[in-house]
Amino acid sequence: MPARSPVYLDHHATTPVDPRVLEAMLPYLSEEFGNAASRSHAYGWRAEAAVARARGDVAAALGARESEIVFTSGATEANNLALLGAFRRRCQRGRDGMVTLATEHPAVLDPLAALGREGARVEVVEVERDGRVNLERLRSVVDERTAVVSVMAANNEIGVLQPLDAIGQIARQSGAWFHTDAAQAGGRLALRTDEQAIDLLSLSGHKLYGPKGVGVLFVRGSRPRVQLEPLMYGGGHERGLRSGTLPVALIVGFAAALRLALEEREEEWSRLAALRDGLWQRLEQGLDGLHWNGAREPRLPGNLNVSIDGVDIDRLLLSLPELAVSTGSACSSAKPEPSHVLLALGLSEPLARSSLRFGLGRSTTAQDADFAAERVIEAVRAQRAG
Active site residues per annotation:
331
Quick one: which of 345, 353, 307, 360 has its CA closest to 329?
A: 353
Amino acid at 83: L
Amino acid at 195: E
Radius of gyration of the chain (CA): 22
Distance between CA atoms of residues 268 and 227, nearest Å: 36
Question: How many Cα atoms are found within 13 Å in the side-chain-facing hemisphere of 126?
Answer: 6
Pure H helices in the chain: 19-25, 42-62, 75-90, 106-117, 135-141, 164-174, 248-263, 265-286, 313-318, 340-344, 349-353, 366-385
> Which residues, in sequence order, are bridge partners of residue 327?
356
145 CB burial (10 A radius; 0-12, 13-18, 19+): middle
Distance between CA atoms of residues 96 and 194, nearest Å: 27
Quick one: which of 107, 209, 91 has its CA closest to 156?
A: 107
Quick one: which of 166, 194, 162 has its CA closest to 181?
A: 162
CB 369 within 8 A of CB 275: yes
DSSP per-residue string spanning 126-151: ---TTS---HHHHHHH--TTEEEEE-
Distance between CA atoms of residues 303 and 280, nearest Å: 10
Q: What are phi and psi of 375, to 5 degrees?
A: -70, -40
CB 291 within 8 A of CB 322: no
Distance between CA atoms of residues 251 and 177, nearest Å: 27
Distance between CA atoms of residues 84 and 257, nearest Å: 28
